[in-house]
């Protein structure tokens, strides 16, 4: 028989009980989509859910990388391997979901783009937190959030404290590696710049991974995270190019050209540079 009957043990009396919907707060989550187009445009729902989903994934990545940063501060690398493996899988979800938005045609988007006003993904608070945590810091970007004092304060805090890679290098220094002082203590509000002495430190690790396996494993997973981040940026660029061509962004940027300049930004530069100097 092509059916599945309800098993007698399945709970059906749920008054006063914690339910699936209640635990996930689906009443609010599934009613947080408010299309503005009039009459309602069918494809605006796709556009909203695409970005809301990305924000949920950003929240999880921030949760995980915050934990990894704390482990680095305690010189405990072992848990970071699993954390970074999870972040890598979340990143896969993020850049795979661009394929969903690519089903939106240029003409369909043009029909409701006007309702966005100046709203733009560049104004994503969580994305900016993520960029800052990964080391791509630019104080001017905080200005976008001046209308939200709590957001501004949080971004200022992250801006002026060591990021993920900074804490990684500081931990290596505490372990006795010759990380230069200007990378152990510096102006954390500035973007990270590569240092040849850090390349030398990493070369020691990469030329004997069995001796430094825990560090080597973390290094490779950081490379995974950076590579996936670059792929996500590139996919974003191509998605925008495909849908709006070379129009300016709704937030006032030049659009595709602005996104293209982000693709080549290095987050953990010495982890790539070291490969040039590894001997057989």
End-to-end Cα, the chain, rounded Å: 64
So what's the pLDDT on residue 261?
86
Model confidence over 116-164: pLDDT tens digits? 999 988 899 999 999 999 999 999 999 999 999 999 999 999 999 999 9
Model confidence over 182-200: pLDDT tens digits? 999 999 999 999 999 999 9
Domains of the chain: 20-277 (1.20.58.480)
What is the arithmetic mean of pLDDT over 30-48?
97
The Cα-based distances of 145 to 89, 124, 191 in angstroms read 29, 9, 19
**pLDDT above 90 for 253:** no
- Structure-model confidence comparison of residues 250 and 133, the more confident one: 133
Q: What's the angle, vertex CA 56, arms to CA 50 and CA 58, rounded to 5?
A: 100
Quick one: what percent of the chain has pLDDT higher than 70?
Answer: 99
**pLDDT above 90 for 262:** no
Q: How confident is the model at residue 258 (pLDDT cuts 50, 70, 90)?
A: confident
So what's the pLDDT on residue 280?
61
Tokens of 211: 């001796």
- Measured CA to CA, the distance from residue 250 to residue 112 in angstroms comes to 12
So what's the pLDDT on residue 12?
86
Model confidence over 90-116: pLDDT tens digits? 999 999 999 999 999 999 999 999 999
Quick one: what percent of the chain has pLDDT higher than 90?
Answer: 83
Mean pLDDT rounded to a whole number for the chain: 94
What is the largest distance, in Å, between two alpha-carbon atoms of the chain? 73
So what's the pLDDT on residue 267?
95
């Amino acid at each position: 028989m092509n059916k599945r009957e309800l098993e007698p043990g399945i709970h059906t009396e749920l008054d006063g009980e914690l339910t699936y919907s209640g635990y996930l707060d689906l009443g609010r989550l599934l009613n947080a989509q408010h299309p503005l187009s009039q009459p309602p445009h069918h494809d605006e729902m796709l556009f909203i859910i695409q970005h809301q989903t990305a924000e949920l994934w950003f929240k999880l990545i921030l949760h995980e990388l915050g934990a990894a940063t704390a482990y680095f501060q305690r010189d405990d690398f072992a848990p970071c391997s699993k954390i970074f493996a999870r972040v890598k899988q979340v990143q896969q979800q993020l850049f795979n979901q661009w394929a969903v938005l690519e089903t939106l045609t240029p003409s369909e988007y043009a029909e409701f783009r006007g309702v966005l006003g100046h709203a733009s993904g560049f104004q994503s608070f969580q994305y900016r937190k993520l960029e800052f945590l990964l080391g791509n810091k630019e104080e001017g970007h905080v200005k976008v959030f001046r209308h939200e004092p709590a957001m501004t304060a949080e971004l200022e805090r992250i801006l002026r404290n060591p990021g993920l890679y900074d804490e990684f290098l500081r931990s290596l220094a505490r372990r006795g590696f010759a990380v230069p002082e200007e990378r152990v203590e510096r102006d954390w509000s500035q973007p990270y710049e590569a240092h040849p002495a850090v390349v030398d430190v990493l070369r020691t690790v990469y030329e004997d991974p069995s001796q430094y396996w825990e560090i080597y494993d973390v290094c490779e997973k950081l490379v995974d995270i950076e590579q996936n981040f670059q792929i996500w940026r590139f996919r974003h660029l191509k998605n925008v190019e495909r849908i709006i061509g070379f129009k300016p962004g709704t937030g006032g940027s030049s659009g595709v050209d602005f996104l293209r300049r982000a693709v080549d930004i290095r987050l953990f530069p010495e982890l790539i540079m070291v490969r040039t100097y590894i001997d057989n």
